[in-house]
Structure 1
Amino acid sequence: MFSSVNLSSPLSLYSIPVVWFTAFYPNAWKFSTINNTIGYDNVQPRSNTAKFSENKNISPRLAAKVQRMEGAHLNGNEAFPLWTAAILAANIAGLDNALMNKVSLAYIGLRVLFNQVYINQETVGTSWFRTAVFFASNLMPMTLLIRAAQKLAAER
């Protein structure tokens, strides 16, 4: 099955769970950090970041990093539906597999870069780089949505 996988193979649907994972791993990293320091409250999981940040035994730098982990996770959750819609529309429209695969790889790479920059940023300059990566990543699903719409409109 995988012996003949190449860029022209229909792989773009596999990007959906991969993109979901890019949204999930910052939260797993946050969980691990909190659990290994003050302990994770699974009864009230949404209160953990605030409790962690307010804890006087936690450095402000680490508290800010955990807040950014949560922010990267939330941003990924917000971006996920757009990506899923774009991939589904592109597949329904029958866009070229190589194009969809290249855009998928670019999007995944940009989402991972976004997360790493977001979580590790500590300066205003780096925050603007994060913003640029965010907008660059959004070009990927928009490209697929527009091309899918154009192809479907041309077929009517």
Structure 2
Amino acid sequence: MASLATSLGLRASATINYAPAYLAFHFIWAYGILSSRTLKQIYGIDHQESPRYDLIKYGEAAVKSGKITRSQLNMLQRCESASANSVENYTFFVAALGFATFSGVDRHLVNRWSLAYTVARIAYGISYILIERRRLAQIRGVLWWAGNVSCFGLLWGAYTKSNGRI
């Protein structure tokens, strides 16, 4: 005899839903860890009154004065770009993860796609900041697409689940 919960279509899942943890991690990764702010403070070119324009206003002067090297300025610029891209991409991940979770995609799949996204985005951020050479920088594009494919996987799961497939 089925229990009332089973009759109502409710089932307990032994798989933990890590979606909230992935969302929290990527928020901190995009807005905090990839932020160039700490590096600018270390190099002494952080200006609280207008930090978004530090590199534009003070970057070249810092290189000319010998405060930082050209390579350090280039890395700081790539760091700002990696952070901006991660902030922009975060909304796609939130939407994909939300659709997958709310449509009832199996937690194993949600966790797997989210882990793939996380690995791709961490590798993307690190490669964006550290790779200076044009040819090697192509790796960044591959990693960007790997993260997006993970989001498309979540969306596809939501689509198929909500349309009665699978």
Q: TM-score, normalised by structure 2?
A: 0.83
Give SS of 2:46's match. coil
* Residue 126 of structure 2 corresponds to residue 119 of structure 1: no
Structure 1 range deviating more: 81-90 or 48-57: 48-57
1:26 aligned residue: 34
* Residue 102 of structure 2 corresponds to residue 92 of structure 1: yes
Give SS of 1:107's match. helix
Shift of 1:154: 2.1
Matches of 1:53 and 1:12, distance apart in 2: 39
Q: Which amino acid aligns with 1:13?
A: P
2:17 aligned residue: 10
Whether the 8 Å CA contact 1:22–1:111 is kept in 2: the answer is: no
Question: Which structure has the larger Rg?
Answer: 2
Structure 2 unaligned residues grouped into runs of 5+: 1-13
Matches of 1:145 and 1:14, distance apart in 2: 19
Q: Which amino acid aligns with 2:120?
A: L
* Residue 48 of structure 2 corresponds to residue 42 of structure 1: yes
Whether the 8 Å CA contact 2:34–2:79 is kept in 1: the answer is: yes
Whether the 8 Å CA contact 2:45–2:58 is kept in 1: the answer is: no
Shift of 1:52: 4.1
2:93 aligned residue: 83
Give SS of 1:154's match. coil
Q: Which amino acid aligns with 2:34?
A: P
RMSD: 1.7
Give SS of 1:81's match. helix
- Structure 1 residues 21 and 139, CA gap change in structure 2 (3 angstroms): same
Matches of 1:129 and 1:109, distance apart in 2: 14
Structure 1 range deviating more: 55-64 or 68-77: 55-64
- Structure 1 residues 52 and 116, CA gap change in structure 2 (3 angstroms): farther
1:138 aligned residue: 148
Give SS of 1:36's match. helix
Percent identity of equivalent pairs: 24
1:37-95 CA distances to partner (integer Å, 9 max, x unpaired)? 23411111111122342121221110000000000000001100000001110111100
Matches of 1:53 and 1:62, distance apart in 2: 10
Matches of 2:19 and 2:86, distance apart in 1: 18
Give SS of 1:125's match. coil
Matches of 2:121 and 2:54, distance apart in 1: 25
Q: TM-score, normalised by structure 1?
A: 0.88
